[in-house]
Amino acid sequence: MPNNFLVYGLDALRKVNSQRRALSQPTITSLPILNKGQVQYIPEGAMEGEPASCYNCPFFNRTGKSCRLIGPSVTIRKFIYPPKPTADAKQIEYWPCCSAWMRGEPNYGPSKFMDCLSSPDTLGLGWINVPELGQDIGGANCGGKDGGDDCDHYCTDGPGDKRDYPTAFCRVLQSQVENGAVCSAWMDDDWVDWTKAQALLKELGDE
């Protein structure tokens, strides 16, 4: 972790919150409204009480730490960063996922790959921070229930934690969605893209 990393003090948090609030506002009203099929919406009932991640996807070669769709050149595994907590930074656990996710058991046998591999950019591979260290399963869903990380597009109409709302308005679909559902339009401002994740994994070394 760089020694010259800029650390925000408590007096700067209100400014940071203001900036994040401004950046999260819609900037245009003429965007096309997508339907659930166009964003590969998976309803909460099909999630089996778990958020989406490589660790509950059949494309994941768990032993080989790779994806059947992407190939062996990209290392895929969850990780914790920074390696040790410091006075000004707590540890956060990150779980991988992409837009091709489907519910299923990962491959625990020899690694398998598709004949025609896809780019991690095309599939939107990235790493998602989860609420707590050491969760049995972590990943993405609309509202952050079941140990998942919530989507920025999931907008509640009242006060309190959005994880407590069973449904809310989705800015992409322009309709109500379930808290425990997920789709390929999932987005979070703490998302770690795959190139940054590869650099962090290289720094951390093997598990």
How does pLDDT run across 133-148, given as a tens digit for each residue? Answer: 999 999 999 999 999 9
One-letter amino acid at 5 equals F
Q: What percent of the chain has pLDDT over 70?
A: 95
Residue-averaged pLDDT of the chain: 92
pLDDT (0 to 100) of residue 1:
56
User: Mean of the pLDDT values across residues 20-38?
Assistant: 80
| Domain-wise residue ranges, the chain | 33-204
User: At a CB cut-off of 8 Å and minimum separation 6, what does 34 contact?
Assistant: 172, 173, 185
What pLDDT, on a 0 to 100 scale, did the predictor assign at position 27?
Answer: 65
Give me the pLDDT at residue 207, please.
65
Q: Two tokens at 73?
A: 């050149």
Average pLDDT over residues 104-131: 96
pLDDT computed for residue 30 by the predictor: 63
Q: Residue 56's pLDDT is what?
A: 98
29: confidence class by pLDDT, cuts 50, 70, 90: low
* Continuous segment of H or E residues that includes residue 178: strand 175-178
Per-residue pLDDT, averaged over 24-45, amounts to 84
- Confidence at residue 7, expressed as pLDDT on a 0 to 100 scale: 78
**Which range among 57-61, 87-91, 181-185, 192-196 shows the weakest confidence by mean pLDDT?**
87-91
Report the C-alpha gap between 75 and 92 in whole angstroms: 19
**24 pLDDT higher than 90:** no
Percent of the chain past pLDDT 90, that is, above it, reads: 78
pTM given for the model: 0.84
Q: Does 28 have pLDDT greater than 90?
A: no
Report in angstroms the alpha-carbon separations of 47 from 22, 27, 72, 99, 191. 32, 32, 27, 15, 21
Q: Please classify residue 36 by burial: count the beta carbons closer than 10 Å to its beta carbon, then call 0-12 exposed, 13-18 middle and 19+ buried.
A: middle
Q: Can you give the pLDDT at residue 190?
A: 87
